[in-house]
Each structure stands twice: as C-alpha cells, then as structure tokens.
C-alpha cells in the first residue's frame, strides 16, 4: 500500500512538473495589446509628365493589405498636393511574434491622363515613418505608354519617395 501511494505521488509530481514547464514556456508568448501602424502619413504631389504642372482633382487611392485590409482615397488640390493621415490600431500580438507583411498600393487617376499604380511591401508590418512622394508624374492620354513603362511605373513612384524615420 505504501509503495502504491509513493508511485501515485511520484506520478502526480511528474505531471505537475510537466504542467509547470509548459506554463513557463508559454509565458514568453503571452499576447499583449500594443499600437501598430496601419499606414504611415503619406504626402505627395501629382504633376503632368508633359508640362511639369500640377494636376488638380486627381483621385488618389491608398490600399493597405496586411493581416487586415484598409482603403482610403482623397483628391489632389489646385497645386496637385494630397495627403493621407497616419492610422494606428491596437492589436494583440504574441511577445515573440513578428508583424505580418504589409503591402501598399497607391493608385492615381485623373481625366485626360493614364492611371499610375505604385506598389511596395514591408516584410514585417506596415512602415511607421511618414512618406513623401513629391513628384508623382501622370502621362497624358495622347502619349502612348508601352507595357515596359507600365511595369516600371510600379517602382518609379518610389524613386521620388523619401521616408522619414522617427
């Protein structure tokens, strides 16, 4: 009888130790709320590639895709300027987890011009630094654009971009 009690006690102690080990291992992955950037502040100016003049009334659409998706739009003013405010969100992330990749697409369209689409990806969450796109050039519709130019268009938006890191 005494031996049976000792075996049960040893078995219970082993189970308790295993549970404690699992609890300690998982304590490093406790979710906690913190602020994350959905999109940084983005400012820019839409210009005619032909004349260099401001394009007023251009529609600028911002699409953000990460673990969730968001879409915003605005219109350029008389000087071609536009801006998107920074948006932040509170999330629960495990302490050791990396943020999900973040894809950003900026689409610019205006009557009489070919549309532009700019895309960039941040591998670990959305960038938090403000971005400036001072020279988003739109090609007039009467000027033909080749397929190569359309593909290059995705990246040329970023050539004029500056990102300020806090």
User: For residue range 115-153, what is the model confidence (pLDDT) as tens digits?
Assistant: 998 888 888 777 778 888 888 999 999 988 776 666 565
The domain that holds 144 is classified in CATH as 2.60.40.1120
Same-domain status, 125 and 61:
yes
At residue 55, the pLDDT reads: 98
Same-domain status, 47 and 72:
yes
pTM of the model: 0.68
Q: Return phi, psi of residue 116, to 5°.
A: -120, 145
- Range with top average pLDDT, 9-13, 27-31, 35-39, 91-95: 35-39
Q: What is the pLDDT of residues 46-100, one digit of tens each?
A: 999 999 999 999 999 999 887 778 899 999 999 999 999 888 776 665 444 566 7
Please tell me the number of Cα atoms within 13 Å of 69 on its side-chain side.
5
- In this model, does residue 8 exceed pLDDT 60? no
Q: Measured between alpha carbons, how far is 20 from 71 in angstroms, rounded to an integer?
A: 45
Q: Measured between alpha carbons, how far is 80 from 60 in angstroms, rounded to an integer?
A: 11
Same-domain status, 110 and 137:
yes
Residue 51 in tokens:
């004349």
Structural domain harbouring 94? 36-163
Same-domain status, 22 and 62:
no
Same-domain status, 136 and 101:
yes
Same-domain status, 117 and 148:
yes
- In this model, does residue 113 exceed pLDDT 80? yes
């Amino acid at each position: 009888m005494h031996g049976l009690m000792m075996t049960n006690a040893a078995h219970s102690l082993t189970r308790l130790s295993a549970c404690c080990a699992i609890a300690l291992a998982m304590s490093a992955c406790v979710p906690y709320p913190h602020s994350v950037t959905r999109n940084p502040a983005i400012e820019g100016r839409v210009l005619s590639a032909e004349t260099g003049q401001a394009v007023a009334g251009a529609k600028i659409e911002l699409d953000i895709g990460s673990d969730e998706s968001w879409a915003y739009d605005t219109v350029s003013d008389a000087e071609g300027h536009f801006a998107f405010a920074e948006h932040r969100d509170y999330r629960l992330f495990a302490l050791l987890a990396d943020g999900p990749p973040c894809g950003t697409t900026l689409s610019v369209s205006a009557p009489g011009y070919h549309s532009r689409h700019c895309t960039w990806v941040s591998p670990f969450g959305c960038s938090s630094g403000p971005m400036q796109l001072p020279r988003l050039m739109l090609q007039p519709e009467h000027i033909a654009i080749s397929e190569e130019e359309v593909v290059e268009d995705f990246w040329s938006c970023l050539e004029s971009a500056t990102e300020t890191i806090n």
